[in-house]
Amino acid sequence: MPHTQQQFASDNYAGICPEAMRAMDEANRGSAQAYGDDPWTMRAADAFRATFETDCELFFVFNGTAANSLALAALCQSYESIIASETAHVETDECGAPEFFSNGAKILVARGESGKLTPEAIRAFALGRTDIHFPRPRAVTITQPTETGQVYSLEEIRDIARTCRELGLRLHMDGARFANAIESLGCSPADMTWRAGVDVLSFGGTKNGMAIGEAVLFFNRALANGFDYRCKQAGQLASKMRFLSAPWAVMFETGAWRANAAHANACARHFADQVAGLPGVDILFPVQANAVFLKLPPEITAALHERGWIFYSFIGDSARFMFAWDSDRTRIDALVRDLRDVTGADAAGTNLSYART
């Protein structure tokens, strides 16, 4: 079949990166024990623990919805609740899976402009009602980077974690694009997670260049009790586990997980630099990872679609553009040229810098 021209609607559009493909090919040679009792899974587990500098408990699952939902279910009872941002993926895009797998735990939604939770919002929910008629808050989930493409600073994470400790709440991090946040902050995985006070991390591999697979890391190992049974019950225990774990091992060992994220982030900055100042185009949120949100007039949106560009209308009725490990600068520049054309920037003599990042 002919190749489809590259689009920037989602980083899930990207293919499998060479390191992940090579790992799967190598894992496919010969046979290995099933359900995680194989050398590849042990090698990946060692790579995780070395990368995070701690003896965490970890599990491999097929996708992000399972990673988030099962992790949150492990943190609370059915009569308890989870505090999240109103734009959190667990609230808007997981079809009620966190509530389903927790047997009914309620998500309490905090409103905000940036997609970030704050200690004040957490405290308001935790202390607002304490009567038996209200689902007792037990967990907090933050997305890093957020659904608006912004990144919590280390201090912001520490402040949230301190608030959680004061209130007896457990802290989960949805890291579907964890590597992009690491590259944005230039910090270590340990500093952004357990050293900052995070109890559990859902670490995304799919958006980082893998075919499939996410990891759930419990830094508080006691919270992982029974999680293997949760995975089995939820259909998340892979019999040929090595095909989920092998890409992790090679991507950690080669550094591809960070290189992929660095490229995606740089492409997002490059695109944002080129469209800033175009007539009628506003960048809605600071570009801190691999996402760019543009506020476009309806006629500009329609014109781009007519030229074959695919993108989603997202938060704040914006156009979201996502960049991945394989984003091609020539395609990005083609999109920029079309944006300039449909906005009339060239006719208006708009002067833009085409400096590369």
Domains and CATH numbers, the chain: 18-255 (3.40.640.10), 257-342 (3.90.1150.10)
pLDDT at 4: 82
Do 44 and 24 form a contact (C-beta atoms < 8 A)?
no
Please give the pLDDT value at position 351: 47
Predicted local distance difference test score (pLDDT) of residue 146: 97
For residues 189 and 217, the answer to whether their CB atoms sit within 8 Å is no
Considering Cα of 307, then 321, then 350, then 348, what sign does the dihedral take? positive
What is the pLDDT confidence band of residue 316, given thresholds at 50, 70 and 90? confident
Beta carbons within 8 Å of 258's beta carbon, 6+ residues apart: 179, 182, 183
pLDDT tens track for 205-264: 999 999 999 999 999 999 999 999 999 999 999 999 999 999 999 999 999 999 999 999
Look up residue 177 and give its DSSP letter: T
pLDDT at residue 267 is higher than 80 = yes
Return the pLDDT at 347.
61
150-154 average pLDDT score: 98
User: Which runs of E-coded beta strand occur in the chain?
Assistant: 57-61, 80-85, 106-110, 136-143, 170-175, 200-204, 214-218, 282-283, 291-295, 312-313, 319-322
Task: Give the pLDDT score at 112.
Answer: 77
What is the chain's length?
Answer: 357
The rounded distance, in Å, linking the Cα atoms of 130 and 42 is 44
> Is residue 352 over pLDDT 60?
no
Q: What is the pLDDT of residue 353?
A: 40
* Amino acid 314: pLDDT: 83
Tokens representing 248 are 């992790």
